[in-house]
Amino acid sequence: MGKPAPLGHGLGLRPVYYDEILSTRPPVDWFEIISENYMVPGGRPLATLERVRADYPIVMHGVSMSLASTDPLDVDYLSELKKLADRIEPAWISDHLCWTGVHGVNLHDLLPVPYTKEALDHVVERISRVQDFLKRRFVVENASTYVTFQESEMDEWVFVKEMAERADCLLLLDVNNAFVSGFNHGFDAARFIDAIPVERVVQFHMAGHSDNETHKIDTHDQPVCDEVWALYEQARRRFRDASAMIERDDNFPPFAELLAELQKMRDIDVRIAAEAARSAA
């Protein structure tokens, strides 16, 4: 199972932008969907997705796999996910390093994992089973977190690196999540990025967050801030071929503003590629 080819610069496919995307076919290289929003019997979501898929590559990004939960893996969920993947043929499928509930309950949130050896063994085993089930390499994203557990035995980046190498999975590096978690837990996000193995990262997420002074919350309702753009530049210098996208899930601006943010990302990438070419010459 190899590493999928880079897709370029993408955006999230969100219902508020359906009409504009279908009518203008905007200059976006690919779209990412929230998988669960399309795991329904029929109607507008699937009809729209089929039409967008006809013109753009799609990446499936889930929020409910609950990879780190101590509940059994939900085979019905995985079957539905696979059914959607068989229909849409995404470039890859991702979800988060998190859990969403136990004892059959789903809190519909990305809940934090204690970075223990026990949790690492558990997550590695489950990613391996997911990859066997889906018959593809799975992509795992670092989540924004707000608490640090007393039980943690290693830093998040050590956990992520070990997880990826032992499960032989791929990674989605959410640059904003690294920034938010770094602020909340008092680590340098640049250190996180430098510790992530280059060959594992296939995708970046970029997003805005809200600032509560003592802590930051990953809300996806703001433009990307300057500090996260600076971190993106560092990430891009390290992970040259990662596909990149901007997430926006609330306080939706006109679509043109997202295209402008995407252009900013492209400009950064062009500049960094030129710098790399000059220094190689």
Partner 1 sequence: MTLKDIQTKFQAAVMAGGQPEGADILVSIKDSARTNRATLFGVYVNAYRLRLFEFMTIDYPALRELLGEEAFDALIEAYVVAEPSRFRNARWFSTRLPDFMEASADWRTNARALSLARLERALTDAFDAPDAEPLALASLGGVAPERWPRLAFIFHPSLILLDLAPGVVEALDAVNEEEPIPPVQNEEANAVAVWRADNDSVYRQLEPDEFLALNEARAGHRFGDICQLVAFQDESQSATERLAQFLTSWFADGLVVGFRESAEDQSSNTPSSA
Cα 128 to Cα 120: distance, rounded to the nearest angstrom: 12
Measured from the CB atom, the residue of 215 and 271 that comes closer to partner 1 is 215
Among positions 209-268, residues that touch partner 1 (CB under 8 A) are 213-215, 217
Element (H, E) at 32: strand 30-34
Measured from the CB atom, the residue of 8 and 114 that comes closer to partner 1 is 114
Measured from the CB atom, the residue of 8 and 101 that comes closer to partner 1 is 101
The residue whose two tokens read 């204690």 is 114
Measured from the CB atom, the residue of 112 and 223 that comes closer to partner 1 is 112
Among positions 86-105, residues that touch partner 1 (CB under 8 A) are 99, 101-105
- Cβ burial, residue 25 (10 Å; 0-12/13-18/19+): exposed
- Amino acid occupying residue 43: G
Measured from the CB atom, the residue of 133 and 229 that comes closer to partner 1 is 133
Q: Does 179 bind partner 1 (CB under 8 A)?
A: no
Q: Write down the least CB distance from residue 24 to partner 1, Å.
A: 19
Cβ partners under 8 Å of residue 96, min gap 6: 62, 63, 65, 67, 110, 140, 141, 142, 143
Q: Does 186 bind partner 1 (CB under 8 A)?
A: yes
Q: Write down the least CB distance from residue 269 to partner 1, Å.
A: 33
Using alpha carbons, list the distances in angstroms from residue 201 to 6, 165, 240.
10, 12, 10
What does the radius of gyration of the chain's CA atoms come to, in whole angstroms?
18
- 88: DSSP letter: H
Q: Write down the least CB distance from residue 183 to partner 1, Å.
A: 9
Using an 8 Å Cβ cutoff, are 134 and 166 in contact? no
Q: Residue from 107, 198, 260, 270 that binds partner 1 (CB under 8 A)?
A: 107
Q: What are phi and psi of 111, to 5 degrees?
A: -90, 150
Q: Residue from 118, 165, 188, 194 that binds partner 1 (CB under 8 A)?
A: 118
Q: Residue from 72, 150, 226, 279 that binds partner 1 (CB under 8 A)?
A: 150
| Per-residue x/- track, 26-65, partner 1 (CB under 8 A) | ----------xx-xxxxxxxxx----------------x-
- The binding site for partner 1 (CB under 8 A) comprises 36-37, 39-47, 64, 66, 68-70, 74, 77, 99, 101-109, 111, 114, 116, 118-119, 122, 146-151, 184-186, 213-215, 217
